[in-house]
Amino acid sequence: MKTVKLFDKDSFLSEFEAVVLSSEKSDEFYKIILDKTCFFPEAGGQVSDIGRLGDGGVFDVQIENDEIVHYCKSGFTAGEKVLGKIDFKRRFSLMQNHSGEHIVSGIIHKKFGFDNVGFHLNEELVTFDFNGLFSKEQLAEIEYLANKAIWENRDITAFYPAKEQLKTVNYRSKKEIDGDLRLVKIDGVDICACCAPHVKSTGQVGLIKFLATEKMRGGTRIYMKCGEYALKEFVAEHRNAADISNALSVKKEEIFQGVCSLKEALDKEKQNTALLKKRLISLLAEQIREDVRFVEDLSMPQLQKLCDLLYKKDGKTHTVFSENENGGYSLVISGIPDEVDLIFEKAKKSLKIKGGGRNGMISCLVTASKEDILKEFSN
Ligand SMILES: [Zn+2]
């Protein structure tokens, strides 16, 4: 690789001057190789830095043929000096997430012996997989220990150990590494092979919050936020809990109980409503004499039940509408099969109708005004 990785030595360096080694136009953008760079390329599940080179935006950085390639909106001349600047706010979030990932993976490895077998990391979210399962209590303990490591503000350092030194160091690594091995050490917590920039101490991670976990191929996937994004998550959830507490008029600590009580009351009301609807359908079936009738607030199955009862009562064909929540009408035509088919075929010609059925019952949705329906059915 021709490019010196400035992020290797100083992860907080955000501006630099470099010499353009090559600038190649490719579609709508340019592929730039520099003699040195602060831009960390996409690697090992972490997205790349973005920023500016001269007046042009750098929107992606990749390793191609063992070279760091900056994807830039502007082109340059080989030999030209150029000023580079990374989006450091974004980089800092990426470093918080990456160091947070090492803290959690190190704790899990030490305490349970499980390995981190894959991860994806952007500025907002870390998703990582472990080859083992955890109870709820164990996950809570891991999250607590990870935050405790933050409060202890332990040093984070990156170094290239000599071959001899390497024999005595116990470190985590996802794969065999060719060439120089870079280790990232979190004092007393973890040592892991890694090429990415990190914050300087665990305190800079700020906060670690697990959002969710799920079982994946016999292992566990953890979704986690760190730093500012973890704080944003906490603020949003806190506001949500306060709103629910106000809406239910219960203390914030008791909102779960409040929601359970509300759900219980709602279930009872649903049962009551179903009973009342059943009685209403029986009453309607006794009263209705007309062939065409509008009724209120009946679902399609309830309309079908009503039509069943009507046919049993008088053996005639009935057409019953009920307005639905979309502003149209649910319609059931039921009775003598030939008559039912005739009414349906005729109505289809002048009204927008979707649906069907057989053996003397057709259920459908009608998109039309009550006036238009009455006009059609009064002929
Ligand atoms: Zn790493």
What is the distance in A from the centroid of ligand 1 to the CA of 192? Answer: 7
Check residue 97 and give its pLDDT.
Answer: 97
Going by the DSSP 8-state scheme, the letter that residue 103 receives in this structure is H
What is the distance in A from the centroid of ligand 1 to the CA of 44? Answer: 8
Which amino acid, one-letter code, is at 48?
S
Check residue 178 and give its pLDDT.
Answer: 61
Check residue 175 and give its pLDDT.
Answer: 64
Q: Is a pLDDT exceeding 80 seen at residue 216?
A: yes
Name residue, tokens 């136009």: 25
Domains belonging to the chain, first-starting first, are: 4-86 (2.40.30.130), 92-242 (3.30.980.10), 280-378 (3.10.310.40)
Q: Which two tokens stand for residue 75?
A: 């082109």
Check residue 124 and give its pLDDT.
Answer: 96
What is the distance in A from the centroid of ligand 1 to the CA of 291? Answer: 75
The 10s digit of each residue's pLDDT in 13-42 is 999 999 999 999 988 999 999 999 999 999
Torsion of CA 126, 129, 132, 137, to 10 degrees: 20
What is the distance in A from the centroid of ligand 1 to the CA of 93? Answer: 14
What is the distance in A from the centroid of ligand 1 to the CA of 302? Answer: 60
The 10s digit of each residue's pLDDT in 254-289 is 999 999 999 999 999 999 999 999 999 999 988 888
Q: Which residues of 281-290 are buried (b: 16+ CB within 10 A; e: fewer)?
A: beebbeebee
What is the distance in A from the centroid of ligand 1 to the CA of 182? Answer: 10
Name residue, tokens 């009920």: 322
What is the distance in A from the centroid of ligand 1 to the CA of 296? Answer: 63
CA pair distance 107, 114, nearest whole angstrom: 10
**Residue spans of beta strands (DSSP E) within 27-55:** 29-34, 36-37, 51-53
What is the distance in A from the centroid of ligand 1 to the CA of 298? Answer: 60
Q: Would you say 47 and 16 are in contact if contact means Cβ atoms under 8 Å apart? A: no
CA pair distance 326, 81, nearest whole angstrom: 64
What is the distance in A from the centroid of ligand 1 to the CA of 97? Answer: 10
What is the distance in A from the centroid of ligand 1 to the CA of 232? Answer: 24
Going by the DSSP 8-state scheme, the letter that residue 75 receives in this structure is -
Residues in the chain: 379
Cβ atoms within 10 Å of 192's Cβ, excluding its own: 20
What is the distance in A from the centroid of ligand 1 to the CA of 11? Answer: 13
Contacts with 263 (C-beta within 8 Å, 6 or more apart), sequence order? none
What is the distance in A from the centroid of ligand 1 to the CA of 186? Answer: 11
The 10s digit of each residue's pLDDT in 60-71 is 999 999 999 999
Q: Is a pLDDT exceeding 70 seen at residue 337?
A: yes
What is the distance in A from the centroid of ligand 1 to the CA of 76? Answer: 33
Check residue 271 and give its pLDDT.
Answer: 96
What is the distance in A from the centroid of ligand 1 to the CA of 117? Answer: 12
CA pair distance 82, 72, nearest whole angstrom: 12
CA pair distance 55, 83, nearest whole angstrom: 9
The 10s digit of each residue's pLDDT in 128-185 is 999 999 999 999 999 999 999 999 999 999 999 988 888 888 888 866 556 688 999 9
Check residue 169 and give its pLDDT.
Answer: 84
Of 346, 130, 157, 294, the closest CA to residue 224 belongs to 130
Helix then strand then coil, in percent of the chain rounded to 5, is 40, 30, 30
CA atoms within 13 A on the CB side of 303: 27
Contacts with 94 (C-beta within 8 Å, 6 or more apart), sequence order? 40, 46, 47, 49, 121, 122, 123, 197
CA pair distance 63, 113, nearest whole angstrom: 32
Check residue 163 and give its pLDDT.
Answer: 82
Q: Is a pLDDT exceeding 70 seen at residue 319?
A: yes
Q: Is a pLDDT exceeding 70 seen at residue 330?
A: yes
Check residue 179 and give its pLDDT.
Answer: 67
Check residue 249 and give its pLDDT.
Answer: 94
Contacts with 203 (C-beta within 8 Å, 6 or more apart), sequence order? 150, 151, 153
What is the distance in A from the centroid of ligand 1 to the CA of 91? Answer: 14
Q: Which two tokens stand for residue 356?
A: 């069907």
Using DSSP's 3-state secondary structure scheme, residue 12 falls into coil
How large is the C-alpha radius of gyration of the chain? 34
Of 372, 286, 361, 375, the closest CA to residue 331 belongs to 361
What is the distance in A from the centroid of ligand 1 to the CA of 214? Answer: 22
pLDDT band per the 50, 70, 90 thresholds, residue 241:
very high
What is the distance in A from the centroid of ligand 1 to the CA of 259? Answer: 42
- What does each C-alpha distance from 190 to 8, 125, 195 come to in angstroms? 19, 21, 15
Q: Which two tokens stand for residue 17?
A: 């001057």
